[in-house]
Chains A and B, each alone.
Chain A
Amino acid sequence: MFWQQVVNAIWLGAVYSLFALGYTLIFGVLGILNLAHPSLYMWGAFIGLVCVTTLHLPIWLALPVAMLGSGILGILLDRIAFKPLRARHAPHLATLISSIGASIVLVNIAQGIFGAEVSRFPFDIFPVHVFNFGGVSVTLLQLTILGISLVIMVALRWLIMGTRQGQAMRAVAYNTVTAARLGIPVDQIIMQTFFIAGALAGAAGVLLGLAFNSISPFMGGPMNLKGLTVIVLGGLGNIEGAVIGGFILAFSEVMSVAYLSSDLRDAVSFVLLLIILLVRPNGLLGHSSTKRA
């Protein structure tokens, strides 16, 4: 029983991390909380679904297409909701409100197109295969989700720490003026950051959509608080922190559902968020890693 929960927490944690990485990346580079991030997650899931049901693409192709789509949505989100405010040096509150507005618009458009009811992937979309390890069962889907999430996370870390683009991104995160003096096209870097964040959210959307086989315009709702909890746990803007935070949240959720009550799933994030804000407001790992390398 216990080890079964551990296994469940691991793959769920990997997807939470994936989701939260985009959230924290935007915070690290731009210092803004993008509350429309969960809507990109939802859109990623729908794009994946449309790829499979309408375009009859295989799921391994639907995932990258969904990432591309939600990445482009991320760029549009920036151009429409954030860039005009940035140009006017608007206060953070304005940006926050703008992101809530954008989120409402994105949810409503999805509701208009796909309807309010829950949509599902076709059942034969992914081979059902269960592995048994001494009483602990893992599905091929769960292993695949875990694998894909880890690969994306490693790739992201390499991008940020090991490439010229990543250096430029961290320079922009640290000081846009200095970055511009060095010839770094700040606006372009911000665009890339939104693309990457959107793509990460989209990947998480497809993977969780597959795992729970339930996609709806409102699936982003609970992710808002979860994402926030994860990135506050890890320290706002902290890449490694978001990964650790994702696993902590998944473990807490899975364990409290298993041993306390299934009503608690969404309350767990709230409790964790409260505790961390009281005890370690800078997060477990302290400060922003996009800013502090």
Chain B
Amino acid sequence: MAKNVGKIVGINGNMVSVETDGQVSLNEVGYILVGEQKLKAEVIRITGKRLELQVFEATSGIGIGNTVELTGDLLTVELGPGLLTQIYDGLQNPLPELAEQCGFFLQRGIYLSALPRKTEWDFTPSVIIGDTVTNGDALGTVPEGKFDHRIMVPFGLKGNYRVKEIKSPGKYTVDTEMAVVEDENGKTHSLSMMFNWPVKRAITSYAERLKPVKPMISKIRIVDTFLPVSLGGTYCIPGPFGAGKTVLQQVTSKHAEVDIVIIAACGERAGEVVETLKEFPELIDPQTGKSLMERTIIICNTSSMPVAAREASVYTAVTLAEYYRQMGLNILLLADSTSRWAQAMREMSGRLEEIPGEEAFPAYLESVIASFYERAGLVRLRTGEFGSVTIGGTVSPAGGNFEEPVTQATLKVVGAFHGLSRERSDARKYPAIHPLESWSKYSSIIDSNKVEYARDVLFRGNEVGQMMKVVGEEGTSIDDFLIYLKADFLDYVYLQQNSFDPVDAAVSVERQEYLFDILLDVLSGKFNLETKSDARQFFNRLRQSFLDFNGSEWQSDDFKKLEKNILEMINDKKIGKLEDTGIFQKV
């Protein structure tokens, strides 16, 4: 189906130069013919007759003069029912099917349909002949897992269309003609359950974009309480290697209160994807009682897979997220790691011999990162419903130093920053998010005055800790020492959370609020503790009981027993409130 052909005139790594006489557009897809194989590539620069294409495959064996078929189409994904539970590569090839066909290894030049063609979907129409529709409007629905998957008018159909034909209720495959619509000029269009959409173009078939306000519950205490993320918001997790970025995202992907999770494993280890892949089908989603896989899509372009497709993978992921948002759902996109995507851009920019910016990243790095995160958002659909895409991306800064281009460009555009610290991860204080250096612009599940009070204790405790390193415990006053112990206590029992404990791994909002109030009681309390060793002993004991308490099932007998014990312990030593507690006390 080539629109136009060209010939290879140069090859440099995964970039080829092509000459053509025909008309071409930027980001158009071309196929390079190598023997029997056709290798997918994308036009990334046009200068007169000469084109540069990034090749999504290994370029071994390509020769000068080889033919390139230019398709005239941009790089697109297939949208329709059947996306959930899938495991795709960066170009939306289903990996399990690929494995069935090719065995252990990925074979270049094999592209399979993203959506299963044989599955029949139970269609219920929601329009009748004569109705007027436009892009993004539903023509009907099919059940997909627990969702009513909307069959929509393709987002590219601008203007109004009259429904001329619509299928009656029944079972159909994705490529069956479901409706015929007629535009204002009388031209008819045949619509099926699926259509293609260019990955680098945001889907905007909604009424308006709104400010994210509702919290996205992650069930991670330090996040929900201190460094919250809103539905439709953006956040980033920079951190040195081994600090816990991936584990944090894995835990979030399991427990977050959203409808759909899309995991974009971008240029990281294949082994980590395998963990998710093997684990999710066995895990039960507490909200639905079904397997977690039913709310998940995995886009997986791991570090040894072709680099150009790594760049495409984050766009593939966000396009699928936007698609489901059009159904009034909340989608969480987790990308690990955005640095690998930025590096893919850097490699290509180098081959194009563009003028390099800092650390050889291209000058447009910032704007590309910004426009990616801009695709998150809370929207009101034309139906009046709300939908959201929340994006969380990890960043892998060179040398663990946040003063590098990708971290800095990302920090400019996100709404929350969860910075992981080497010091905390070395001390096994997980999740190793630095509580004082990180920030969030979104609102917490807990009253902001209370949170501020606790944050202040952390801050002062940290100061005392620093001072103590110089003057020793001997040189510290008992009041200061108590602040230090309280901050340490808050860190141990609230900020730190055991991701591998069945109960502690995910803490409901209700429980966080409950726990936080007990904690505030301690933080704001005046205690009858005369000596430092008394004080240390008291807090050590309290901490131990609290850790057991955190591990007990919410409102179980054990929970109540431990709570009673803790309250007794506190009341035994507490003799009043500190003077500075006014800001959070209810009148």
A binds B: no
The interface of chain B, by Cβ under 8 A from chain A, is none
